[in-house]
A = this chain, B = another copy of it.
Amino acid sequence: MILHEDPRSGNCYKIRLTAAFLGIPLDFRSYDVMKAETRTPEFLAEVNSNGRIPVLQDGDRFLPESNAACFYLADGSPLIPADPFERADMLRWMFWEQYNHEPNVATVRFWIAFIGEDSLNDVQRLLLPMKREQGNAALALMDRHLAEQDWFVGRRMSLADIALYAYTHVAGDGGFELGNYRHVCGWMERLSSQPGHVAMNRETPLAVKGPSD
Protein backbone atom coordinates (compact mmCIF):
# COMPACT_ATOMS: atom_id res chain seq x y z
CA MET A 1 0.00 0.00 0.00
CA ILE A 2 1.12 3.53 -0.76
CA LEU A 3 0.35 6.62 1.30
CA HIS A 4 0.18 9.82 -0.76
CA GLU A 5 1.04 12.45 1.84
CA ASP A 6 2.67 15.62 3.04
CA PRO A 7 4.57 14.36 6.10
CA ARG A 8 3.91 17.63 7.99
CA SER A 9 0.11 17.12 7.82
CA GLY A 10 -1.59 15.70 10.90
CA ASN A 11 -4.19 14.02 8.70
CA CYS A 12 -1.39 12.10 6.95
CA TYR A 13 0.34 11.34 10.24
CA LYS A 14 -2.83 9.61 11.55
CA ILE A 15 -2.50 6.96 8.85
CA ARG A 16 1.26 6.59 9.30
CA LEU A 17 0.73 6.16 13.07
CA THR A 18 -2.13 3.64 12.65
CA ALA A 19 0.04 1.57 10.30
CA ALA A 20 2.96 1.76 12.75
CA PHE A 21 0.86 0.57 15.70
CA LEU A 22 -0.42 -2.33 13.58
CA GLY A 23 2.97 -3.20 12.03
CA ILE A 24 1.65 -2.67 8.49
CA PRO A 25 4.38 -1.59 6.03
CA LEU A 26 3.54 1.40 3.81
CA ASP A 27 5.32 3.05 0.91
CA PHE A 28 5.18 6.83 0.73
CA ARG A 29 4.79 9.46 -2.01
CA SER A 30 5.44 12.98 -0.75
CA TYR A 31 3.78 16.16 -2.01
CA ASP A 32 4.35 19.75 -0.87
CA VAL A 33 0.95 21.30 -0.18
CA MET A 34 2.60 24.75 0.01
CA LYS A 35 3.56 24.33 -3.67
CA ALA A 36 0.05 23.10 -4.67
CA GLU A 37 1.49 19.75 -5.73
CA THR A 38 -1.90 18.10 -4.98
CA ARG A 39 -3.71 20.40 -7.45
CA THR A 40 -1.85 19.34 -10.60
CA PRO A 41 -3.90 17.80 -13.44
CA GLU A 42 -2.08 14.48 -12.91
CA PHE A 43 -2.90 14.36 -9.19
CA LEU A 44 -6.54 15.32 -9.78
CA ALA A 45 -6.96 12.69 -12.51
CA GLU A 46 -5.02 9.83 -10.93
CA VAL A 47 -5.07 10.19 -7.15
CA ASN A 48 -7.92 12.39 -5.84
CA SER A 49 -10.30 14.62 -7.79
CA ASN A 50 -10.86 16.57 -4.56
CA GLY A 51 -7.20 17.77 -4.73
CA ARG A 52 -6.39 16.73 -1.18
CA ILE A 53 -4.06 14.45 0.72
CA PRO A 54 -3.83 12.00 2.39
CA VAL A 55 -4.89 9.29 -0.03
CA LEU A 56 -4.21 5.62 0.73
CA GLN A 57 -3.60 3.54 -2.39
CA ASP A 58 -4.17 -0.23 -2.30
CA GLY A 59 -3.33 -1.68 -5.72
CA ASP A 60 -5.37 0.33 -8.21
CA ARG A 61 -7.89 1.59 -5.64
CA PHE A 62 -7.57 5.00 -3.97
CA LEU A 63 -9.04 5.93 -0.59
CA PRO A 64 -9.13 9.63 0.41
CA GLU A 65 -10.12 10.98 3.86
CA SER A 66 -7.70 10.28 6.70
CA ASN A 67 -10.14 8.68 9.12
CA ALA A 68 -11.54 6.35 6.45
CA ALA A 69 -7.99 5.23 5.59
CA CYS A 70 -7.28 4.55 9.28
CA PHE A 71 -10.50 2.48 9.46
CA TYR A 72 -9.42 0.45 6.42
CA LEU A 73 -6.00 -0.33 7.91
CA ALA A 74 -7.44 -1.20 11.33
CA ASP A 75 -10.56 -3.13 10.25
CA GLY A 76 -10.62 -6.35 12.28
CA SER A 77 -7.85 -5.22 14.64
CA PRO A 78 -8.07 -4.28 18.35
CA LEU A 79 -7.85 -0.59 17.36
CA ILE A 80 -11.57 -0.85 16.47
CA PRO A 81 -13.79 -1.94 19.40
CA ALA A 82 -15.71 -5.19 18.91
CA ASP A 83 -18.76 -3.90 20.82
CA PRO A 84 -21.23 -2.22 18.39
CA PHE A 85 -21.96 0.78 20.64
CA GLU A 86 -18.25 1.36 21.31
CA ARG A 87 -17.49 1.01 17.59
CA ALA A 88 -20.06 3.70 16.79
CA ASP A 89 -18.81 5.83 19.70
CA MET A 90 -15.29 5.61 18.23
CA LEU A 91 -16.68 6.93 14.92
CA ARG A 92 -18.53 9.64 16.86
CA TRP A 93 -15.22 11.02 18.12
CA MET A 94 -13.67 10.72 14.63
CA PHE A 95 -16.55 12.68 13.04
CA TRP A 96 -16.32 15.21 15.88
CA GLU A 97 -12.59 15.52 15.17
CA GLN A 98 -13.23 16.39 11.52
CA TYR A 99 -16.07 18.81 12.27
CA ASN A 100 -15.15 20.54 15.56
CA HIS A 101 -11.42 19.97 16.13
CA GLU A 102 -9.55 19.88 12.81
CA PRO A 103 -11.16 23.02 11.24
CA ASN A 104 -10.03 24.98 14.30
CA VAL A 105 -6.91 23.40 15.86
CA ALA A 106 -5.34 22.27 12.56
CA THR A 107 -6.37 25.34 10.57
CA VAL A 108 -4.91 27.74 13.15
CA ARG A 109 -1.67 25.68 13.12
CA PHE A 110 -1.57 25.89 9.30
CA TRP A 111 -2.18 29.63 9.30
CA ILE A 112 0.38 30.42 12.03
CA ALA A 113 3.15 27.90 11.29
CA PHE A 114 2.87 27.46 7.51
CA ILE A 115 1.45 30.73 6.14
CA GLY A 116 2.60 32.99 8.98
CA GLU A 117 0.41 35.40 10.96
CA ASP A 118 1.75 38.45 9.05
CA SER A 119 0.83 36.88 5.69
CA LEU A 120 -2.82 36.01 6.43
CA ASN A 121 -5.48 37.41 4.13
CA ASP A 122 -8.38 39.52 5.41
CA VAL A 123 -10.80 36.61 5.83
CA GLN A 124 -8.24 34.52 7.71
CA ARG A 125 -7.38 37.48 9.95
CA LEU A 126 -11.08 38.00 10.74
CA LEU A 127 -11.69 34.31 11.50
CA LEU A 128 -8.52 33.71 13.57
CA PRO A 129 -9.92 34.78 17.01
CA MET A 130 -13.06 32.69 16.51
CA LYS A 131 -11.04 29.65 15.42
CA ARG A 132 -8.72 30.05 18.42
CA GLU A 133 -11.77 30.18 20.71
CA GLN A 134 -13.42 27.14 19.11
CA GLY A 135 -10.09 25.27 19.12
CA ASN A 136 -9.75 25.90 22.85
CA ALA A 137 -13.38 24.80 23.34
CA ALA A 138 -12.56 21.52 21.56
CA LEU A 139 -9.47 20.97 23.73
CA ALA A 140 -11.49 21.78 26.87
CA LEU A 141 -14.18 19.26 25.88
CA MET A 142 -11.48 16.61 25.39
CA ASP A 143 -9.97 17.51 28.77
CA ARG A 144 -13.30 17.06 30.58
CA HIS A 145 -13.82 13.69 28.87
CA LEU A 146 -10.29 12.50 29.72
CA ALA A 147 -10.73 13.53 33.37
CA GLU A 148 -13.10 10.53 33.59
CA GLN A 149 -11.28 7.91 31.54
CA ASP A 150 -7.84 7.03 30.13
CA TRP A 151 -8.94 6.60 26.49
CA PHE A 152 -11.73 8.17 24.45
CA VAL A 153 -13.75 4.96 24.11
CA GLY A 154 -13.80 1.97 26.45
CA ARG A 155 -10.67 0.88 28.27
CA ARG A 156 -8.06 0.77 25.54
CA MET A 157 -6.59 2.87 22.77
CA SER A 158 -8.69 3.03 19.58
CA LEU A 159 -8.66 4.95 16.31
CA ALA A 160 -10.52 7.74 18.14
CA ASP A 161 -7.38 8.40 20.19
CA ILE A 162 -5.08 8.27 17.15
CA ALA A 163 -7.33 10.62 15.12
CA LEU A 164 -7.49 13.16 17.96
CA TYR A 165 -3.81 12.87 18.90
CA ALA A 166 -2.55 13.83 15.44
CA TYR A 167 -3.36 17.55 15.54
CA THR A 168 -3.67 17.88 19.34
CA HIS A 169 -0.04 17.04 20.06
CA VAL A 170 1.19 19.76 17.67
CA ALA A 171 -1.45 22.34 18.67
CA GLY A 172 1.35 24.37 20.27
CA ASP A 173 2.60 25.16 16.73
CA GLY A 174 -0.61 27.21 16.37
CA GLY A 175 -0.21 28.97 19.71
CA PHE A 176 -2.55 26.78 21.78
CA GLU A 177 -1.35 26.34 25.38
CA LEU A 178 -1.54 22.57 25.88
CA GLY A 179 -0.33 22.98 29.48
CA ASN A 180 -3.82 24.30 30.29
CA TYR A 181 -5.26 20.86 29.58
CA ARG A 182 -3.59 18.48 32.01
CA HIS A 183 -5.78 15.44 31.31
CA VAL A 184 -5.03 15.88 27.60
CA CYS A 185 -1.30 16.03 28.45
CA GLY A 186 -1.51 12.77 30.45
CA TRP A 187 -3.38 11.07 27.59
CA MET A 188 -0.76 12.23 25.04
CA GLU A 189 1.96 10.70 27.23
CA ARG A 190 0.04 7.43 27.47
CA LEU A 191 -0.45 7.29 23.70
CA SER A 192 3.14 8.18 22.82
CA SER A 193 4.44 5.41 25.11
CA GLN A 194 2.40 2.67 23.40
CA PRO A 195 4.52 0.06 21.56
CA GLY A 196 4.96 0.95 17.89
CA HIS A 197 4.46 4.71 18.29
CA VAL A 198 6.33 6.80 15.72
CA ALA A 199 6.88 10.55 15.87
CA MET A 200 5.54 13.08 13.36
CA ASN A 201 7.81 15.13 11.16
CA ARG A 202 7.08 18.47 12.82
CA GLU A 203 9.28 20.66 10.66
CA THR A 204 6.98 23.36 9.36
CA PRO A 205 8.22 25.65 6.57
CA LEU A 206 8.39 28.59 8.99
CA ALA A 207 10.28 26.56 11.59
CA VAL A 208 12.76 25.42 8.92
CA LYS A 209 13.30 28.99 7.74
CA GLY A 210 13.60 30.29 11.29
CA PRO A 211 12.21 33.54 12.64
CA SER A 212 15.15 35.64 11.45
CA ASP A 213 14.89 34.80 7.73
Contact = CB atoms under 8 A, between A and B. Distances in A.
A33 interface: no
A76 B85 CA distance: 12
Contact of A84 (B75, B85, B100): B75
A130 B122 CA distance: 13
A91 B71 contact: yes
Interface stretch (A59-67, A112-120, A176-184): A59-67
A61 B89 CA distance: 10
Given A95-B67, A95-B95, A126-B126, A88 B100 contact: no
Interface string A143-170: 0100000000000000000000000000
Oligomer: number of copies = 2
Contacts of A88: 63, 68-69, 71-72, 75
A69 B95 CA distance: 11
Nearest to A61: B85
Contacts of A61: 85
B98 A95 contact: yes
A65 B91 contact: yes
Contacts of A91: 65, 67-68, 71, 91
A103 interface: yes
Contacts of A87: 71-72, 75
Given A68-B91, A72-B84, 18 more contacts: A61-B85, A63-B85, A63-B89, A63-B92, A64-B96, A65-B92, A65-B95, A67-B95, A68-B89, A71-B87, A72-B85, A75-B88, A76-B84, A94-B95, A95-B95, A95-B98, A98-B98, A99-B102
17 contacts: A49-B144, A50-B96, A63-B85, A63-B89, A63-B92, A65-B96, A67-B91, A68-B88, A68-B91, A68-B95, A71-B87, A72-B85, A72-B88, A75-B87, A75-B88, A76-B84, A95-B98
